[in-house]
Amino acid sequence: MKTENTMLAGFVERVQRTVAVARSERPLSELNRMIRDAPDRRAFGDAIASGFGLIAEIKTRSPSQGDMRAVNVADAPGAYTDSTIVHALSVLTNGPDFGMSIERLLDVKSATTKPVLRKEFMVDPYQLHEARAFGADAVLLMTQVLDSQALQRLFDTACDLDLEVLVECHSPDDISRCPAGTRIYGLNSRQMLTGRREYDAAKADRETTATRRDFTTDPSIFKNIEQLPSDVLKVAESGLRPDNLHLVTELGFNAALVGSDLLLHPDGVVAALKEFESVMINLLG
């Protein structure tokens, strides 16, 4: 497991405790029974390949930007389903740091007709069985969290469970460690390495929702798209807003994963989606 920086190590430690509790309450045998009755899998990769669009996220809070607007979180499944620019949904199931749960995943899957990604710090095969049991169509694996051996093991397990995999990278070194057969690559601009600027919770609490900006991202990371294989699907993650969406459309990404900008919008998630749609019309024709 790759947890050499303190920020990620904290996330992973809390996730491991959560997994231990979940395993004691719901053993793997029960998850496998649930998988037999789980909703049919939807084609996450095909949805992304259909043309540039958003993977729209649902979470109740973020370590980088604090609490989301509760009304936006509540409205998100319906608004995302109705939006033509949203091609898939992302549900951040992490409880300790993002305020969500695996149960919310099934709630969202039942409320939408679009593919659903389980976004979590995946460190244990148990979480993949859990994802499939609760309706996930795809899962996220992070190269900054997993060493090469663990990454391959979890990738293989996900494929065995008929889950699609979004493999998240930051650097050329991360890209080089992606398992053979990876179809969907994510480049995440979030700065999570030790020594980089981290979230100041006290400062964020003093700011209004409308004025919060995320300064923990580095858009130059998106330029690593040049290191990706030409025949794969490419997803840009973190820090994307209508006013900088051109950075990733011009580089040739297939999708942008967007969460906070939708869920913090003072006029609601529908208004936020309309802003993205207006920009996308201008950028893409």
Instruction: Identify the pLDDT of residue 212.
Output: 46
Instruction: Identify the pLDDT of residue 2.
Output: 62
Tokens 């999708």 — which residue?
255
Average pLDDT by consecutive 10-residue portion of the chain (285 residues)?
Answer: 69 93 96 95 97 97 90 98 98 92 95 97 97 98 95 98 97 96 96 46 40 68 96 96 96 97 97 98 91
Q: How many whole angstroms separate alpha carbon 63 and alpha carbon 92?
A: 12
Residue 1 identity (one-letter amino acid): M
Distance of CA 137 to the CA centre of its chain: 13
Own/partner pairs, 12-15, CB within 8 angstroms, 24+ separation: 12/121, 12/123, 12/145, 14/96, 14/97, 15/94, 15/96, 15/120, 15/121, 15/123
- Prediction pTM value: 0.90
Q: Which DSSP state fits 41?
A: P
Structural domains of the chain, ranges and CATH numbers in brackets: 6-25+42-284 (3.20.20.70)
Is residue 55 a contact partner of residue 250, using CB atoms and an 8 Å limit?
no
Instruction: Identify the pLDDT of residue 55.
Output: 98
Instruction: Identify the pLDDT of residue 190.
Output: 85
